[in-house]
A and B are shown apart, each in its own frame.
Chain A
């Protein structure tokens, strides 16, 4: 087992204050605090080489949990082991076998080129010349870094910087990789490249990866399994497909016709949308075959697509389901 999280809790004591001049002044004499339970009795395990999506709405506790896994934060209670190490013990051996990439925090040295950060990491992580050159060549080719290596980091675009961040985090070939919003702010093309890179990297190096992202594209492309949390509590841990089937017991049937007949579609299924030459219906999964056959028989269908509901919808339902329960 690569990662074991056992009844993990993290509480923060947060200073609360009302807005306004008077309350700002009052807070000098009387400070009020609130205990925030960022992570609440969280348990899960991850196998070596597995790639798992870690999902939840804003403020769910994902990043806090990830920072505890990386050893940046000490748990209030509970236990974590990653490849046999206790992260908060801050052992150098542990730091050498893992990496945390935070989409909103840079490890690159800001005013000098990324290559300088890579060379510092080479020395700090004690990477020998051969491995360094081999890994760097591989990363430069996969992430198309060649033109970026010698420009000051501050002059790179967000997407270019993110690719360099990934390279800096992977030079020492970590066995465990924590990716916190690795595609945040990137354009669609770069998102796709980064996703493809992560998938390849996981396949080739059997790296254990825990990934948080607000882009469902990242999750569907990379993760078979997802862990969903909200208010620091575990909501779901399992197969993404099973979650989809459980929460959305229907599929979307997209029917393309030369002209849309003026008729009611309710006899076939719930109408999701009607556009020029296209109607999209929500059909219970067990009726898909029957409804498709009827439509093909009764209309001059140009094209017919059967799709799962968008992942955003599934995840939104997953968050709502538990907050109701």
Chain B
């Protein structure tokens, strides 16, 4: 036993003076080890040390990007990023370790490399920290910036429902750009309806820095002890809430449903198309109230519609994918295709194509498909379909390859023909993995279709990206919730079905 261990470990080592080995490893880290014959270790040292040197040089040039020469860059970079000192010292230590290791190896001593590995790992970790710009302080101190968005996305339901409002209002016509004699027709008082009386009814609009005519509104017949909001409709029919001295003009009715409020005529542009004066404006004193129950908002309905679209998008891609992947998987199963060189060539070609198609992400297929068939869910189906065929083709073919030949042998032995053998011995064996992989893929396709939507493949992903870009985070939150709920349900369903079939 002992002899054999030595034989296994023995490798042909070149005898070189330890000092030369050390010098070689000093010039190129690991070169000494390579010459001696520990070439894997030498290449590892050379690769690590040289890539660390390269990365440090790159960091210095990035940090001190304004400096022209290395003589200027190095001190600037080291003063800006103290971590570079640590890296430099570690690199020097690693260099020394590699040289010492080369000397020891040349002297045929047992190599001790653990410290070198630790230094290399630690340096890559530090550089990684640097390169990806990890900033734990920012992570904590600027968390506040994320709170409004997170809270809207986490609880979007206020935007998902609304209640209809009805207005309870009195109106009066006001002229601007009018002669003192012009008085608009009075709005008749209707019993049971609120009524307002405005004085004067002809005045000047505010201009920048110049307050307009002060109006006094007296209202009656409103609901008692409730807020009344003053609205203004300009001659082109645009309605807005009136501001006076910086605040929206509101009043609260007394117990008889009456109020009085004073404010200046607002500042607004009269478009030339409105012609010469007088221009008629409508003043509205409005109480609003909600009627009826909660109703789903436009965003909620849209999200539901697109979620359904997404589920079907995933389903169609899976169905077509399964239908096409089954024949492909037979071509990609080695045990079925190894009969002759021709079939073996088909097997290799199929495998090769499947691997290429599978290695292209669905998001890239989606971009290609949107150019091909235009934006919308059909592009999404095509994108997912390509990836599904490739992925399922591989999984199915592996399931076919791993079937137990025993039952096939047994069914053959009873005198069954080929098709009977397939029905009795092959299909029962491949159904469980096929069902399992198919459901797993459906699950993936629905999750994936949200991403596909973002690049124009239809479905809820399209909405999600649109709402995020419009900074409508509550609406985006609705989409996020729908996706999360759907994926969770699907996950549960697919795991239950797989449990049953496998």
> Are the chains A and B members of one assembly?
no
Taking Cβ atoms with an 8 Å cutoff, the residues of B that contact A are none
